[in-house]
Amino acid sequence: MSFSDLMSSGRGPGVIGMVMALIVLLGFGLLFMVATDEGFQGGDQSIESLIAHQAKDIEFSKGALERGVKSLGDAPERIKWTKELNSLQRGTPVFKERIVALGGNIQSRKAEAVRGERAFEDYKNQYRAHVRSKAKGESMDTLQTQGGVVYKNVNIRGVTAVGIQIRHDDGHKRIPFEDLPAAMQDYYQFDPKQKAEAVTQEQVAWNEHEAAVSVANLASDRQVAEQAAKDAEAIREKTLRSIALKESRTESLSNEIESLEAAITKEIEKSISNAPQMRAQLANKQSALAALLADIARMRADLSK
């Protein structure tokens, strides 16, 4: 049995009294031994020295007795705290179960709060979509931005997360939400986070468009280059065929010129001669041959470029 169990039982005070009585009897026994035993009487020591020594022992015993009495005096308080501790220990499983239950309740509340926030955001998004779609086609005489710019005869073309697109007397303009009057920002539910996301999406779309345009331009340039190469090859082949025809004609003219020159030589010997006419024909053929040779030279020069 522990000390706390002993103190909380009905026999505790009786046992404590018995212990105190034994301590007192032990003290008197020690005093008797000191008085009767020669060894305790000090032997060769003086009576004053012996008394002083025994006085110290008595003081030590008194101190021990006082500490024991104080400890017994604190016993009720200790019994009280022991009982409370035992009660708390018995209640600990219950408290743990309550803590676990409360923890589960907290998580449930948090989940409900998250669902509530999502529902509210969904409602706000529905409201934004409604008022922004409804704004298309609305007109106003003037619209002054926070920067002081005034637009006249304004017709709203559309409202997005970035701002408002309008048509006015001087053309078209998209006004960012930050530059709109506070009342319009509130009515159309301006949200900086949504604008940042929309701007990012616009930039991505623009980059994709630019990339697509660049690819299309490259493809177009490649097609143009391929067609140009085909056209150049066709022209080259046509030129080569024309050169071949002209060269064939020059060879024929050269033979005709040689024959005509020989005929003119014989024709001169005749009394009635056609030499003048033949000379005119020869000149024409020589001129035609020179023109063909010039064309061939020019066409070959064009091919070498």
Q: Which pLDDT score, from 0 to 100, does residue 84 have?
A: 72
pLDDT of residue 13: 55
Query: Which of 74-83, 134-143, 145-154 comes out lowest in average pLDDT?
Result: 74-83
Mean pLDDT of 203-227: 92
Could you report the per-residue pLDDT of 21-61, keeping only the tens digit for each? Answer: 666 566 655 555 555 555 544 455 566 666 666 667 677 76
C-alpha to C-alpha distance for 22 and 38, rounded to whole angstroms: 25
Mean pLDDT for the stretch of residues 156-174: 93
Render pLDDT for 224-274 as a digit per residue (tens, 0 to 9).
999 999 998 999 999 999 999 999 999 999 999 999 998 888 888 777 778
Contact between 292 and 253 under an 8 Å Cβ cutoff? The reply is yes
- 145, 179 Cβ separation under 8 angstroms: yes
Q: 261 with 243: CB under 8 angstroms? A: no
> In the predicted model, what is the mean pLDDT of the chain?
81
- From the number of C-beta atoms within 10 Å of its C-beta (0-12, 13-18, 19+), residue 160 rates as middle
pLDDT of amino acid 7: 47
For tokens 């024409």, what's the residue?
284
> For the ranges 101-110, 119-128, 272-281, which has the lowest average pLDDT?
101-110
Report pLDDT for 40. 46
**Angstrom distance (rounded) from CA 140 to CA 169:** 12
pLDDT attached to residue 244: 93
pLDDT confidence of 287, banded at 50, 70, 90?
very high
| Residue with more model confidence, 89 or 154 | 154
Does residue 299 carry a pLDDT above 80?
yes
**Overall pTM > 0.85:** no
* Percent of the chain at pLDDT exceeding 70: 75
The b/e string for 268-298 (b: 16+ C-beta within 10 A; e otherwise) is eeeeeeebeebeebbeebbeebeebeeebee
pLDDT given at position 91: 66
Q: What's the pLDDT at 99?
A: 72
| pLDDT number for residue 5 | 53
Query: What is the rounded CA–CA span in Å between residue 165 and residue 175?
Result: 6
Q: H-helix or E-strand containing 111?
A: helix 75-135
